[in-house]
């Protein structure tokens, strides 16, 4: 089960240009990584939470993400507290329990929270198909590359469906491996991996024929069902992200 998935909606984040949204969030992530002040990633984390809820994302999806991140953050804090040595590594002392390690672990954990939730803002509110279409329109991505990515994205649910069908067929026939580890590996390779590989080749061949018949090459003016234009809200998000990144670089250099 995936923790982060695209959630359909009609919020301002869903209507933003996916390319500008991705670039803006990436700039904010860089500013979080460059910042050494613990309050900044904490503020960005709460801002990302506000953006996610304003887009109509349910609390259940956010709670799952926070739960796994909190467990990961606790592990990072404990490891830094036990093993981080401020003055450099000393072989005679492996377990240090330093306050500096505790602060360092908290800062790293807050950075991870901020970066992951900024990524969640994009994933929750952006359809991958729209993102690829926007790259072909705004960044002039080659249609052959763009439609190849779309075919790959469309194949993921089909791959999961094929895997479930193979497993269901094994359960119906009560087909189980007998023997040790090597027998089970051989069973998985021959009865699961091999059919999936053959199905993937068949779908790839059909997709290649379909793409070739549509003339996916440069120099041809293509039409799209939805045109992705840059609007005022996109420029505002981009300007704010550039300002945050510039301030982070300035503070990191001079302070």
* 89: region left, alpha or beta (phi > 0 left; psi from -120 to 50 alpha): beta
- DSSP secondary structure, 86-126, as one string: TT---TT-S----HHHHHHHHHHHHHHHHHHHHHHHHHHH-
The pLDDT score that the predictor gives to residue 31 is: 94
Can you give the pLDDT of all 255 residues of the chain as single tens digits?
455 678 888 888 999 999 999 999 999 999 999 988 888 999 999 999 999 999 888 888 888 888 888 888 889 888 888 887 776 656 656 677 778 888 888 889 899 999 999 999 999 999 888 898 898 888 888 777 787 788 777 777 787 788 888 878 777 777 666 666 676 677 667 777 778 888 888 887 887 777 777 666 656 677 777 888 889 999 999 999 999 999 999 988 877
Instruction: Report the C-alpha gap between 101 and 185 in whole angstroms.
Output: 43
The pLDDT score that the predictor gives to residue 24 is: 95
DSSP 56: T
The pLDDT score that the predictor gives to residue 1 is: 46
Judged on CB neighbours under 10 Å (0-12, 13-18, 19+), 93 is exposed
The pLDDT score that the predictor gives to residue 89 is: 57
DSSP 190: I
């Amino acid at each position: 089960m995936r923790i982060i998935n695209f959630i359909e909606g009609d919020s301002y984040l869903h209507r933003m240009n996916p390319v500008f949204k991705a670039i803006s969030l990436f700039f904010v992530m860089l500013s979080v990584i460059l910042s050494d002040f613990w309050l900044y990633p904490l503020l960005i984390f709460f801002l990302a939470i506000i953006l996610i809820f304003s887009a109509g994302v349910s609390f259940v999806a956010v709670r799952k993400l926070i739960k796994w991140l909190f467990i990961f953050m606790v592990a990072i804090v404990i490891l830094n507290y036990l093993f981080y040595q401020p003055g450099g590594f000393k072989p005679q002392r492996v377990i240090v329990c330093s306050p500096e390690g505790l602060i360092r672990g908290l800062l790293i954990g807050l950075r991870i929270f901020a970066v992951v939730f900024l990524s969640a803002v994009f994933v929750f509110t952006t359809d991958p198909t729209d993102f690829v279409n926007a790259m072909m329109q705004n960044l002039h991505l080659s249609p052959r590359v763009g439609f190849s990515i779309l075919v790959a994205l469309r194949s993921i649910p089909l791959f999961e469906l094929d895997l479930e069908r193979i497993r269901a067929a094994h359960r119906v026939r009560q087909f189980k491996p007998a023997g040790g580890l090597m027998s089970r590996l051989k069973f998985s390779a021959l009865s699961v991996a091999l059919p999936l590989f053959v199905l993937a080749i068949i779908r790839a061949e059909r997709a290649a024929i379909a793409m070739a018949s549509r003339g996916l090459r440069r120099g041809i003016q293509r039409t799209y069902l939805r045109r992705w234009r840059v609007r005022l809200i996109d420029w505002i998000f981009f300007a704010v992200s550039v300002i945050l990144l510039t301030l982070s670089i300035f503070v990191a250099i001079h302070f």
